[in-house]
Structure 1
Amino acid sequence: MSRGSLTGCVLGLVLACGVAGAQALPYRNESCSEDGLVCLLIEQPDTETASLSIRARVHSTLTLTLEADVENVALSTPLPVTAVFEGPETRTLVKLEHKQRALAWSYKNVRYTSNWGTPRAVHDDSVVYQLPFAADRAVRVIQGYDGAFSHHGSSRHAVDFDLPEGSPVHAARAGTVVQVVQHFTAAGTDASYQQKDKGNRVLVRHSDGTLGYYGHLQPGSVVVKEGQYVTPWQLLGRSGNTGYSLGPHLHFEVRKPLDGKQSLTIPVRFNTSRGVGVPLEKDKSYTAVR
């Protein structure tokens, strides 16, 4: 019903006070995300300067926002700083310099958050989406746009379909699979499920740069791979009950990142037996048609 950022954040910590506190110089530390796709590199060659860099090993466009708590520091770029990575790349995002030499300086709590996709994506509003389940099957909407339970803020334009666990989930639009997560086994409404995005999912990048998100999938049910091109109606996996969820269902939305922390969901038109572009309303059933 909702989700957080698509990749986790890495926390780095450096204290630099005059002669870099207890850290021996030159100082260098690299910490990576669990999947190894993004690494945060902190370097301090001397007592007066430092740099914060990102090493990305991504196969698709990723938007990242870097933050840190600084005191008495001159910055080459204001923090937070947001950068878009189109593929494998190492980039220095900000350089730091001791500002008033008579006073101590510090930088600490260096951290980042990231979202797949780019803020530059512009949705093609001429596209009509297929309903993401089997054709000729009527499925009830249990939460639509602006849903009271969780479809607000970054999830405002999302739809939850009442699919029993194990139901086939099909691609609503052609695109390239960006992310597959299928190892989670639990569900709940505790805030940690929402904040950490502990739901299984498939993320598909469309030709206009937007992303289709298929969430709460059954563990181990995904049949597509990252980097694979999929066509409308192609089987992606099976519905489940994982992550921030009250019960078995499929969460679908089209989105793009605003930065590494926030996303924007986009209202889209669906092809249904009731017609094209009819609003999908809560507690009404809709049938997918080819």
Structure 2
Amino acid sequence: MRNLDKFMQGVFMVSALLSVMAIILISVFVFAGGLPFIAEYGLGNFLLGEKWTPSNNPAAFGILPMIIGSVSVTLGAVVIGVPIGVLTAVFMAEYCPPKLYKILKPAVNLMAAIPSIVYGFFALQVIVPFMRNLFGGTGMNMITVMLLLSVMILPTIIGMSEAAIRSVPKSYYYGSLALGATHDRSVMKVSLLAAKSGIFSSIILGIGRAIGETMAVVLVAGNQPRIPDSLTQGVRTLTTNIVLEMSYATGRHREALIATAVVLFGFILLINGVFMLIKRKEVTK
């Protein structure tokens, strides 16, 4: 039995080391391929440049339109998706009848398992024609992307928020009732506030999902590498910029795309850093 324990301990250790090594190798590949280009082209020119014309002579590799596009559609998705997701989690945790819960919970889990390309095809067939009739143009615009991403982040927000609400001790809720508060007030003013750390963590992960989404966005964004003047214009994000051009890019063009991945990787690291700080504060409470 002792030998088996040592063997399993070794297996767990190797698994953990492989995970860490994978992250290290990915980081080394991305930064080693992108940082030299950024240093050569200039960080300000790269981040603040408004023109992306890799085929011109001289070529321009400004990714400001893609940064604005990624941040804008992500914020729009959060504004739409977070209230719906949190309120759905509250309903499932505190109001949902058991029979209905048996249907809703698997449905939410199924949403998380649907491939992103399926979401994109759904938006292409349903949301894009609706936007075309409503605003004109092609229907592939920022609002379409925001609606699509808001749906895609719902499983993350609902699942984590519900777990956070259920983890709140019931004594908080019953104590509020004992003081004369109604069920609704006890849920919204006590249980929900007590679970705010976990809910905020779900929002951070939802932001990470939205800003890193590629295949669904590329179908409905319009993919125009310029700063949009309105929400009804097409947009190109950092992820779609990479996936659209990497297949044929060579030389400095390819280096610029890898440098774009460095910027995207930086956003993801920032989001995960915020998430870790929130979890650390939650543990120390």
TM-score by length of 1: 0.24
TM-score between the two structures when normalised by the length of structure 2? 0.24
Could you say which structure has the larger radius of gyration?
Answer: 2
Structure ranking higher in helix proportion: 2
Relative contact order higher in (CA < 8 Å, ≥ 6 apart): 2
Could you say which structure has the higher strand fraction?
Answer: 1
